[in-house]
Amino acid sequence: MAEPMTADRLIKALRDEGLRVQEHAGWRTHNRNHKGPFGPMHGVMIHHTVTSGTTSSVELCYNGHSELPGPLCHGVIDKEGVVHLVGNGRTNHAGLGDDDVLRAVIDEQPLPPDNEANTDGNRHFYGFECINLGNGADPWPAVQLEAIERAAAAICRAHGWTYRSVVGHLEWQPGKVDPRGFGMDWLRGQIADRLKATMPKPPAKPPTPKPAVKYEPFPGAAFFHSGRRSPVIAAMHKRLVAEGCGRYKSSANSDVWGSGDELSYAAWQRKLGYTGGAADGTPGKTSWDKLHVPNV
């Protein structure tokens, strides 16, 4: 369950996303909490103001009007891309909306049509009013659209939400048309790209350590006599073959020590640099340890 962000956490989230933030005097304690609960939080709602001019729009969203007291949102995004914070807590921005839409937002699923107004949206959504006349002709500057994207992404990131936690007022409350002038699917696509692009890469998994290979200890020179049968001798034979020194003995009786083993081991000793009597085919500890006969 997502608890509402504190004022300090909200500012940090917005600024960490690269936004310019202006704090309206008194915004930290300005809310409608006396009219109902605020939280748990489930999403971000985007609106347009149906006004022009930054100063007057920010004042309207802070104070509200006779029919709808302020604050009317948490932040006002002007045409220069600045976020003006005007409320902290419950605000009059979402009104009653569709419970099926809220469930889809919570489950982060595609939104159903909004055909009911039966659920308190002021309790569960952060709201951003974006300065625009909403007549379809008033332009949306690129810097403002990017600020809307960043503001919504900042809150999604802070709560661990995906782009599906961002909705337009028109998707929440029947009869609403805002925001008008850009598509919410387009905006969610921008937010998805931003969240994905800046998502920290998971730490690389440390390589799985290879199990330590245990080698047969040198059994002593007396171990190697004609007719001696042992799996150690078979393992030694495989290693000599792998080293290119096992051509003097067939694999038929690989576990029995015989003359072929002596010839093969002598070849191994010569490969190590031994000569003369030091390469007589009888294993010694130094040459045996270098052969790395696996434990059997």
Helices 184-197 and 142-159: crossing angle in degrees, nearest 10, is: 60
Q: Which of 127, 124, 148 is nearest to 17 (CA)?
A: 148
Q: Distance (Å, rounded) from C-alpha 269 to C-alpha 280?
A: 8
Q: Distance (Å, rounded) from C-alpha 219 to C-alpha 221?
A: 7
pLDDT of residue 201: 58
Q: How far is CA 289 from CA 169, 242, 285, in A?
A: 77, 15, 6
For residue range 244-293, list pLDDT tens digits in order. 998 787 776 789 999 889 999 999 999 999 999 899 999 999 999 999 99
1 pLDDT higher than 70:
no
For residue range 27-44, list pLDDT tens digits in order. 999 999 999 999 999 999
Q: Distance (Å, rounded) from C-alpha 9 to C-alpha 241?
A: 68
For residue range 115-146, list pLDDT tens digits in order. 999 999 999 999 999 999 999 999 999 999 99
For residue range 186-228, list pLDDT tens digits in order. 999 999 999 997 655 567 777 778 778 889 999 999 999 999 9
What mean pLDDT, rounded, does the chain reach?
93
Whole-prediction pTM value?
A: 0.68
Instruction: Annotate 93-146 with three-state secondary structure.
Output: CCCEECHHHHHHHHHCCCCCCCCCCCEECCCCEEEEEECCCCCCCCCCCHHHHH
Identify whether 179 is preceded by a cis peptide bond (ω within 30 of 0). Answer: yes
Would you say 165 and 105 are in contact if contact means Cβ atoms under 8 Å apart? yes
Q: Distance (Å, rounded) from C-alpha 16 to C-alpha 154?
A: 8
77 pLDDT higher than 60:
yes
pLDDT of residue 200: 54
